[in-house]
Chains A and B, each alone.
Chain A
Amino acid sequence: MSGIILPGADGLLFQRDRDWHPPADTPGYKSSTFRAPKHSLLSLGPTKSEMTGPTFGHEKLGALDNDLIRNFSQDGTDAIGQRMIVYGQVLDENARPVPNTLVEYWQANAGGRYRHKKEGYLAALDPNFGGFGRSITDANGFYHFRTIKPGAYPWPNTGNDWRPAHIHFSVFGHAFAQRLITQMYFEGDPMIWQCPIVSTIPDKSAIDQLIARLDRLNTTPMDALCYRFDIVLRGRRSTMFENKLEGN
């Protein structure tokens, strides 16, 4: 057969590299102990139910949805903290941009305190900071939002553990099997390397993928720092196209 294989639009997704992701049971992160399935996952290729997924139009978004400095402001003043822009490109494993996909994010305030009734940390709440927002990627897969740098905070895991400053991300992609939740960290933060949750990821180069880079050139003069965080979702496997190069 004189065919050529290219990354195809019709192929199934690459199998997840489970060694790259954290395993379910990670004793250093105690919350996983009773929440990790003990049986092996049943590995099947995705079916049509997993190769399709929800999409969201821009009509869902309000003007301040991607502005955490203003979207919860009670009195018109800005949230307190180090101002910054976070942006990045959502790609798939074939390095293709993922356009028109929903990216959601949430975080603690500048003092390391979440706006949540179960949060007990003594750092003060900021009345003008809610801590969440969302974007839809543009035609080239880019998202951006404005926020303040979240603080590090302590948690009781082994008595005196600390979370490095981080932002939680939820990303959809175009197939339900691409659904991903992760956390973004900040370049140069020594707390990253002593965090039990970061350490659930076995491979240091995988952790490195979660560290946003300071983008000095894109800082806003007299206003905001800028960090870049690209996100990679599962990509599609190749399909066979006989003597056909177009269509990919």
Chain B
Amino acid sequence: MLHPVPTLKETPSQTAGPYVHIGMTPNFCGITGVVDADLGKTMINGEVEGERINVAVNVFDGAGVPLFDGVVEIWQADASGNFTGPTAPNSNSAPAFTGWGRQPLTEAGAATFETVKPGRVPGPDGKLMAPHIALWIVARGINIGLQTRLYFEDEAEANASDFVLNKIMDKRRRETLIARKDGSTYTLDIHLQGEKETVFFDM
């Protein structure tokens, strides 16, 4: 077994389709009474360390049309740079900070997450990566979920030495991952195509 290879193939992806909100944010699209709240709507369930922020994303297609029928999920470390560990299978309490959020995109192609600014996490080279949030976008017309990242405008020094940002050869395209700051809100415009196409990853 010197070179083990996978014995099974990953199940192939298919588009989430035009009605992904039914399955992932049912209350948002009017299917009420089945579950109390849409999963991932709230990331903070109690006292948490760190700076409270809003993360706003606006998603556009290649024609500049807002992606009105998609879903965005985020995953991030807490303010200390730790990820929320697995909950016990029969746990009855949600962690104070889940690290995971899910929001439907609105008619304007927008979603906002109330969260905390993440701490720094070590990268594969052992050095700390800049604070960042992992994003995953699905929608009609997207055949396999798109992976990208959000970085913070006010972390220029950390961004300059970030393992992932530095893998983007065209430096101008690094800017597509950096959210602009306005008070406690960080906003990132995501373009699926076009001159401002966001950098997407295969990670």
Contacts and interface: CB of A to CB of B under 8 A. Distances in A.
Check if A and B associate: yes
B142 A32 contact: yes
A159 interface: no
B89 A58 contact: yes
B141 A132 contact: no
Interface residues of A, number: 96
A149 interface: no
Given A6-B1, A57-B89, A130-B31, A16 B202 contact: yes
For the residues of A in contact with B, the DSSP-based class is loop
Contacts of B147: 50, 177
A85 interface: no
B6 A37 contact: no
Interface string A169-188: 01000101101111100000
B14 interface: yes
B141 A34 contact: yes
B11 A180 contact: yes
A238 B168 contact: no
Given A7-B4, A18-B202, A54-B75, A35 B14 contact: no
Contacts of A234: 10
17 contacts: A5-B3, A16-B10, A17-B9, A20-B12, A26-B143, A32-B15, A34-B65, A36-B62, A36-B142, A36-B143, A44-B167, A44-B202, A94-B6, A94-B7, A95-B7, A130-B31, A180-B11
Interface of B: 1-4, 6-24, 26, 29-31, 33-35, 39-40, 61-63, 65, 67, 69, 73, 75-77, 83-84, 86-93, 98-100, 121-124, 129, 132, 134, 136, 138-147, 149, 163-164, 167-168, 173, 192-193, 197-203
